[in-house]
Structures are given as C-alpha cells and as structure tokens.
Structure 1
Amino acid sequence: MGALALALMSPASSRAAERDAAAADALFTEGRKLATQGNYQAACPKFSESYRLDPAPGTLLNLADCEDKTGKIAAATEHFRRALEALPPGDDRVPIARKRMTELDARVPRLTITVAAPLPPGTRVLRDGIEFGSPSLGVALPVEPGDHFVVVRSPGKQDRFYRLNLLEGDSRQLLVEPGAEQAEGAAPAAGPDTSSPSSQRTIGFVVGGLGVVGISAGIVTGLMVNDRKRTFDDNCKDGYCNAAGLDAADSGKTLLTVNAAAWAVGLVGVGVGTYLIVTGGDSKTPVTRAGLTPTVGGGKVVWEGAW
C-alpha cells in the first residue's frame, strides 16, 4: 500500500501534450485532497478534468484508482491499461499499475450481443444509449457491473428493448432481434353528427378545450424532457452512465413519446375546434363528419384528419 500511495501522489514525470499545466496541477491537487478524505465521487471528475487539460500518466493512474473505488471497474481497467502504455518501461509505477489492471480485469463483466439472423438494413443496436455497429456484435465487450439496456431499432418495426443486470465477473450472451412490424394505424373514428349549427359550435368548444389541454400537457412534458436531458448529460461521461443517467434516459424516452402525442392532440384539437366554431354559425354551410387517424412511425405520432 505504501508503494501504491507514493505512485499515485505524483501527477507525472512526463507531459505528453501541454495544454494548461497550471490548471491541471491545481485540479490534481484538489482531487488528491478529496480522495484522501474518501470523497471519491467528487475526486474522480477532478482527475478526469486534470487529465484532459494535461494528459499525464500519473493523473490517469489516480483516475483509475478513483474509478475502482466508485465501482467503475471497466473504466478503471481501461485507464490502468492506457497509463501503462504511456509510462516508460523502467518506471516504478509500472508493476503496480499492471497488478491492479490484472486484478480488475478478472472482475469486469463481459456482454456479448449476438443476432439470430442478419438484421434488416438500417437497423441500429444501442447499449446504454451508445450505438454499436456490426463489428461489435458477437464480441465479448467489457461493461460496468449493474443494469444495462439494449435497444434494437429497425425501420418499419417497433423498438425491441432488453434489460439485464450483470454482476462482477459475469460473462453473458444476449441474443437480440428486431421488434414486431409497426402498426399501420387505427381506423378513422367517426365524429358526432354536426349538421346542427348549435350542436356543431358546442362540439367545437369541447374539442378546442381538449386541444388546449393537450398543448398544456405538451409544454409540461417538454420541460420534463429537458430536465431528464440535463440529468443524462451530467451522469453519462466518456461512454459510461451511472444509475441516475440510465434512469433519466429511460424516463426521458417515455416522456418524449407522451410529449409528441400531447402536441399532436393539442394542435389538432384546437384546429378542429376552431373550424367547428367558425362554421357552426351558418346553417347553410355544409358540414361533414370529422375524423382523425393516428399513425405511429419514426419515433413520432402523426394525426391525419378529414372534415
């Protein structure tokens, strides 16, 4: 432990690329202070920012150690590996870093995503919000312990979702496939008889009121989507998301669907309501029945109307 502490206390002997060494040193010092206090959640971002400003191997070693303490063992393993590549062979920190990397690597879960049949053109496979191309399929890739979400998106098909939990040392295979064919949409709903001008205006006010409610719901859910987006951005860094980031991505996706539907219903409701109110004052004006057909596709809801 003494040798490890001495190795971690040095930011680096060589600087690969000077960017802002003074700021990097200040952040490194603050990160060491927080780590000494046991506040690794706050220390890790300091080390990460210090390394970005001045990529020193010693800073990367501290970041890897910090990530290990916070349970991000896949990221820690990768950062120990990168630090080993940057350190000179005779550096005293090499054997320490190699030992830590080997121990961590044995604990890192692996997830292999495979497909039962060739995927349709344009299909996207995402794990925890990150898209993985065909070269990544069938390969055991390291992941952090905990919950993971896999989504298969194919044109003209519903999204297929998978959720799984991996423990340290797990090696899991996940067979994925596209979802069912996208629904073509429900049949048009026949509206009430609006041949009477008075009843038409009444219906217009009701439909318009529902449209206003829909627009209000669209505004509220839009604000909620923005809040989930900020939470996702704050908790998903360098291709990894913590539990808060994953929850924000999951709930944000649901809210986005609700938001699209609310705006669609709201705008159509206001439009139809206005039309019925305006034309309802003239009994000689021919009026047909109103009908709306919802069509779902491409992540949005489209309402097609005829009146």
Structure 2
Amino acid sequence: MKHAWMVFVAAVLLAVGSGQASAQSAEAEVLFRDGKKLMAKGQYAEACLAFEGSFKKDPVATTLLNLADCREKNGQLASAWGHFVEAARLARGQGAIEKSAQDRADALEPKLSYLVVAVPNDVRVDGLVVKRDGVPMDPAEWNRKMPIDGGHHTIEARAPAHEPWSTSVEVGTSGDEKSLTVPAFRAMPLRTAPGTGMTGRRKLALGGWALGAVSLGGALAFELSARSSYDDAKAATTNPARRSAYDTANDRRLYAGVALGVGVAAVAAGTLLWITGRRAAPEAVEVQASVGRDMGGVTVRWDY
C-alpha cells in the first residue's frame, strides 16, 4: 500500500513538472518565432529581447545561436562573440550546430573591441567596488583587456569613507581598444557645523555637558531636600508624621541618585565626544544608569 502511494505521488509530481515544462516550451517557441519575424524586419534590438526571453525559458543551443546572430547584426560584437562561444559549448557533440557556432565565434573574435580598467595596488582600499555600466566588476577583470560592446560606457568606483569616483568612455564598435585608470581615493572630510568649524561630535559634547550640569544640579537640590526631610523626621513627635517624613526623604534621595547617574553619564559621554572629536563618528554610544535606594551605578559603553 505504501509503495503504491509513493508511486502515485511520483506520478502526480511528474505530470505537474511535465505540464510546466510544456508551458515553458510553448512560451519559448512563441518568443523565438517573434524574434525571427523581428529580425526579418531589421528590428534587431526588439528581436534580441525576444530571443533572450526564449532562451531563458528553454536554453537550447539553436536559440542562443540566433541570439548571437542578432547581437552581431545589432552591433554588439562582444555580446555576440560570448553567445557564439557558449552556443558551441551547449551544442558539443551536435556536429553542424557546434561547428557553425564555433566558426562564427572564430570569425568574430578579431573584430572585437576591448576596454582595460586599471586598478593599481595603491588605490585598493578596503571595501572597494568598481562598476561598469552599473554592474560590479569581478576583481579578476581589473587590469585585464576585456571584450566590450561598442558605445558609451560608465565606470564608477566606491569605497567606504572615501569620495566616489566615476568617468565615462566611448568605445568603437569594432577593433577599438581603450584604457582608463581608477585614481587614488580621497578620504571624505569630516562634517562641521556651518560657520563654526566645530565637528558634529564636539557639538554633541557640549550638549552632553549641558545635560550633565542640569542633572547634577538637580541631584544636589534633591539631596538637600532629602536631608531637610530627614531632619523633619527626627523632630516629629508622632509616628505617622515621622514615617511620612522618612518616606519623603527616601523618595527625594532616590530622585537625587537618578539625577546623579544621568549627570555623570552625560558628562562622561560629553568628555569622550570632545576628546575624540577629530575622528569619524562612532557607530554607537550607549549610556546606562541604574540607581536604587541602597545603591547606584553608571555604565558607559563606546563602540567604534
């Protein structure tokens, strides 16, 4: 019984997969025919899109061969050459198709244009990304003569904490060779407050000190008030009055402890901000304060 159930499930999955494959093949065939019609009309850009879509749905060598032919007629020689090479690989062992693709690739290779994007060792900062027409280049492609379609191309490079760089180059359709070099990166300048020349971190330091001064002043005021309430408790003549005075004193001492913790933390954070005001901003600053009736504590954590 179990074996029969497994056979049934496998049959269902096979039928579903077969149905999906059939649908993909049908869509691929429609796109392929549209590509042929558009090629006949000389609408090469649109035809190439149709062939490309057909190949994605049904990756066969004949479709890729037609896409390569389309790219060549559209003046995209490097793309065409790459497609011919790949079509020959896909058609390996298929005789005439493999030979046709390889012959076309061999005939096209001498006509290719090339671009060298030079990235010297002394400009390779951490996190460097070099893009060609918006697509990141593999570092293995740096400093190498790589085939490229003719036309206008944009090269850009970015690295953390450095100013971005970009340029453009015009490459001929056939037989052209261009080269460009990524220059040394400049570190991004520190941001300063307009008109003062003071870094943003030192402005925060001043704010921290101001908050610390207010908090410490409040702590002193609560402490003096708490001592006054303790004196009142000692002078009280009845237990209810004494207990009320002690409760008030304890509450005010608690408030004094909280204000003291906040004040110390703010002053400590402000001091760190001022001392390190010439460096890049920290990733995170965390200030924690814990105060109780019997104990208090302040924790400052500084992450870069």
What is the TM-score with the length of structure 2 in the denominator? 0.53
Unaligned runs of 5+ in 1: 1-16, 191-296, 298-307
Q: 2:178 matched to which residue of 1?
A: 172
Deviation at 1:47? 0.8
Of the three residues 110, 126, 133, the one matched with 1:128 is 133
Deviation at 1:105? 1.8
The AA in structure 1 aligned to 2:161 is G
User: Is residue 152–residue 179 contact of structure 1 (8 Å, CA) maintained in 2?
Assistant: no
Extract structure 1 runs of 4+ deviating beyond 3 A.
Answer: none
2: CA distance between counterparts of 1:88 and 1:132? 29
Q: 1:226-237 to 2 correspondence within 5 Å?
A: none
2: CA distance between counterparts of 1:35 and 1:180? 49
Q: 1:137 matched to which residue of 2?
A: 142
Q: 2:6 matched to which residue of 1?
A: none
The AA in structure 2 aligned to 1:182 is M
2:161 is paired with a residue whose SS is: coil
Deviation at 1:103? 2.3
Q: 1:108 matched to which residue of 2?
A: 112
Instruction: Please list the CA deviations of residues 101-144 of structure 1 after superposition, one character each: whole Å capped at 9, or x if unmatched.
Output: 12222222122222233311111111111112322212221111
Deviation at 1:31? 1.2
1:173 is paired with a residue whose SS is: strand
The AA in structure 1 aligned to 2:148 is V
2: CA distance between counterparts of 1:131 and 1:58? 30
Unaligned runs of 5+ in 2: 1-19, 197-279, 281-304
Q: 1:266-305 to 2 correspondence within 5 Å?
A: none
2: CA distance between counterparts of 1:149 and 1:35? 29
Deviation at 1:189? 3.9
User: Is residue 88–residue 99 contact of structure 2 (8 Å, CA) maintained in 1?
Assistant: no
* 1:150 aligned onto 2:155: yes
Q: 1:95 matched to which residue of 2?
A: 99
Q: 1:158-197 to 2 correspondence within 5 Å?
A: 158-167=163-172, 168-189=174-195
Deviation at 1:90? 5.0
1: CA distance between counterparts of 2:183 and 2:21? 47
What is the TM-score with the length of structure 1 in the denominator? 0.52
Q: 1:2-81 to 2 correspondence within 5 Å?
A: 18=21, 20-81=24-85
1:164 is paired with a residue whose SS is: strand
User: Is residue 154–residue 178 contact of structure 1 (8 Å, CA) maintained in 2?
Assistant: no
Instruction: Please list the CA deviations of residues 240-291 of structure 1 after superposition, one character each: whole Å capped at 9, or x if unmatched.
Output: xxxxxxxxxxxxxxxxxxxxxxxxxxxxxxxxxxxxxxxxxxxxxxxxxxxx
2: CA distance between counterparts of 1:88 and 1:102? 16
Structure with higher Rg: it is: 2
Identify the structure with bigger relative contact order (alpha carbons < 8 Å, sequence gap 6+): 1
2: CA distance between counterparts of 1:87 and 1:135? 28
More helix by share: 2
2: CA distance between counterparts of 1:47 and 1:149? 26
The AA in structure 2 aligned to 1:142 is P
Instruction: Please list the CA deviations of residues 218-257 of structure 1 after superposition, one character each: whole Å capped at 9, or x if unmatched.
Output: xxxxxxxxxxxxxxxxxxxxxxxxxxxxxxxxxxxxxxxx
In structure 2, the CA distance between the partners of 1:33 and 1:133, relative to structure 1 (3 Å rule), is closer
User: Is residue 157–residue 178 contact of structure 1 (8 Å, CA) maintained in 2?
Assistant: no
The AA in structure 2 aligned to 1:65 is D
The AA in structure 1 aligned to 2:139 is S
Cα RMSD of the aligned pairs, angstroms, is: 2.3
